[in-house]
Amino acid sequence: MTKTNPGRFFEDFRLGEPLVHATPRTVTVGDAALYLAFTGARHALFSSDAFARASGLAAAPVDPLLVFHLVFGKSVPDISLNAVANLGYADGRFLAAVYPGDTLTATSEVIGLKENSSRKTGVVHVRTTGSNQRGEAVLSYVRWVMVRKRDETAVAPAEQVPALPEAVAARDLVLPAGLDLSRYDFALGGSPHAFDDYRVGERIDHVDGMAVEEAEHQMATRLYQNAAKVHFNQFERAKDPSGRRLVYGGVVISTARALAFNGLENAGLILGINGGRHVNPYFAGATLFAWSEVLDKAALPGRDDVGALRLRLVAAKDRPCADFPDKDAEGRYPPEVVLDFDYWAAVPRR
């Protein structure tokens, strides 16, 4: 038997199968600093212990997207080593804040299997859960990937596709324990815009642009201990039509989120991920731009200090977003658009 991990092929997955992912990970202020260096994120809550304490927390929590990337990275060797494509995310909820010193582990359960008509690949749905050292779930989300079959003649398991919500229900959103934004400092936050200042349908061009270098996405993806070959193996990627290493989609999400500070300064705290698609590949060197749309607004039960905005974040490469590049009526995206991401964020009320 070979000692190396060849990764699971489509016919290796079993419905209901629980997967314990390797390499537990203590998150530290070192990770938080690197996340700033990769993204330039400026949300006060994750940047300042003092600001977090004034918001009722023990210290600055780890940016939810960093938590997402770390949990996601753990799942790669068991789920997507032979993935052709990462098709989407849904039903993601951040269930408890993560603080420096916490240790994350990740498990997944296979919740959907569907062979493609070509019989060469199939779609695998998994629900992945990240937990802390006390066994408390900190993040749960579904993702689905297209995975190669090892043997095209292998009999596929019975088809099962999970029902997924179009969006996380606002009542299922969880705020970090202790959070109190009733005395939120908007000057330190970076803008006067509160929950009440955003309206459904509003679109915001985030103006700024940011290039990501090969070294940057590789370092970020390594930090997340995401070992997917496409991000690092240039020798192999040279045979791809693009000839390029593919940038981990999470790097695009985090870069676009950091750009979105300009207009969404006080919406740093992501509570849920409703959906997300990487609609075109992003290669290092191109400049990312982003725009957002307010899809929905929700009061949170029993809270008058904070509400939730449902936001759509669209990122484009080498394409400023003043005119909001978007999919057309048939759902086809312009080639410059690389990301369409739908999430809930907490925003202080005045």
Could you tell me which stretch among 49-57, 111-119, 147-155, 171-179 binds a second copy (CB under 8 A)?
A: 49-57
Distances (CA, A) of 340 to 97, 249, 256, 273, 330: 25, 11, 10, 12, 15
Is residue 101 a contact point for a second copy (CB under 8 A)? Answer: yes
Please answer whether residues 113 and 292 qualify as being in contact, where contact means their C-beta atoms are separated by less than 8 angstroms: no
Supply 286's token pair.
Answer: 């191109």
94: closest CA among 24, 141, 144, 43?
141
Tell whether residue 133 is a contact of a second copy (CB under 8 A).
yes
Q: How far from 242 is each of 30, 225, 250, 284, CA to CA, in Å?
A: 34, 24, 20, 12
| Residue whose CB is less far from a second copy, 30 or 165 | 30
Angstrom distance (rounded) from CA 34 to CA 30:
6
136 binds a second copy, rule: CB under 8 A: no
If we measure between CA atoms, which residue out of 4, 68, 65 comes closest to residue 36?
A: 65
Q: How many CB atoms lie within 10 A of CB 238?
A: 11
* Nearest distance from C-beta of residue 45 to a second copy, angstroms: 10
Shortest reach from residue 165's CB to a second copy, in Å: 28
- 42 touches a second copy (CB under 8 A): yes
Which span (40-48, 110-118, 120-128, 170-178) binds a second copy, by CB under 8 A? Answer: 40-48
Q: What is the DSSP letter of 59?
A: S
Could you give the string, one character per residue 50-79, with x where binding to a second copy holds by CB under 8 A and - elsewhere? xx--------x----------------x--
Q: What is the DSSP string of 68-92?
A: HHHHHHHHHHHHTTTEEEEEEEEEE
Q: What is the footprint of a second copy within residues 186-245 (CB under 8 A)?
A: 187-191, 193, 197-198, 202, 204-211, 213-216, 218-223, 225, 227, 229, 232-236, 245
137-166 residues in contact with a second copy (CB under 8 A) are none
Interface residues for a second copy in 239-268 (CB under 8 A)?
245, 261-265
Confirm or reject binding of residue 3 to a second copy (CB under 8 A): yes
- Count of residues engaged in binding a second copy, rule: CB under 8 A: 86
